[in-house]
Amino acid sequence: METNTMQKPKYLGLLNRISNAETAAGVYLRAWADVTPNADLACTLRLVAARETSHGEVFCRRISELGFELRTNPDPKGYEVLAKLANPNISDLEKIGDRDDRNDNTDPFGEVRRRIAEGEFDPMTANLMTWYIAEEADSGRRLRECYDCVRDMAGQGKKSAAMGPSADAEAIMACMTSGFAKLEKTLEKLVKVSK
Ligand SMILES: [Fe+2]
């Protein structure tokens, strides 16, 4: 319910999508951390999960500060993702999937950096976005390093053609490292699928 007279910022939907996606990612990564036998991976997953949960809360709070309320958008595939990541009988390698973006040098946050530079966001939200991007980039780097270690330990230092793609890992990594454009596309696809 929006009882204020403030004009709705055009980026409110983006803040809402980020909050929902980050909160969900926090739950997924924490569930995975709790079942992996790899202590280093667990440590990184917990660190990133704590950040994701925090991002979900902070963006929810920012929406409130702007005079609006978070709209929770249940992810129709959320339980499938969670069931897989929380399953100790599914290997870390399978959870990671065969995504390999080590040679992808594009800036996943280029689009939102441009929007910040163009003054699209109010100053407080711009500040929040800048902090968020920095943490996401660092989380993505930490996760990629860990994923590489898991692949190396499994003798799959290079992308394996034998493995099928992991949609869950794709979805999580889309949130972690691929920035807003991909996040928005992923969410658009999910919305279309759920209709
Ligand atoms: Fe994230």
> What are the sequence ranges of the domains in the chain?
12-194
The candidate with the shortest Cα–Cα distance to 121, out of 180, 186, 53, is: 180
Q: What is the mean pLDDT of residues 46-62?
A: 98
Question: How far does the centroid of ligand 1 lie from the alpha carbon of residue 127, in Å?
Answer: 17
Question: How far does the centroid of ligand 1 lie from the alpha carbon of residue 52, in Å?
Answer: 5
Question: How far does the centroid of ligand 1 lie from the alpha carbon of residue 5, in Å?
Answer: 31
Are 182 and 108 in contact, with CB atoms under 8 Å apart?
Answer: yes
Please give the model's pTM, rounded to 2 decimal places.
0.79
Given CA atoms 170, 172, 177, 180 in this order, what sign does their dihedral have? positive
Give me the pLDDT at residue 140, please. Answer: 94
Question: How far does the centroid of ligand 1 lie from the alpha carbon of residue 111, in Å?
Answer: 16
Give me the pLDDT at residue 161, please. Answer: 40
The environment of the single-atom ion ligand 1, i.e. residues with CB closer than 5 A, is 22, 52, 175
- Angle between helices 123-153 and 39-65 in degrees, nearest 10: 160
Quote the DSSP letter at residue 9: P
What's the pLDDT tens digit per position in 167-181?
566 566 666 555 555
Q: Of the CATH numbers 1.10.3470, 2.120.10, 1.10.730, 1.20.1260, which one belongs to the domain with range 12-194?
A: 1.20.1260
Q: What is the mean pLDDT of residues 71-94?
A: 94
Side chain identity, residue 117: A
What's the pLDDT tens digit per position in 87-142?
999 999 999 987 655 556 678 889 999 999 999 999 999 999 999 999 999 999 99
Question: How far does the centroid of ligand 1 lie from the alpha carbon of residue 40, in Å?
Answer: 20
Per-residue tokens: 27: 């739950």
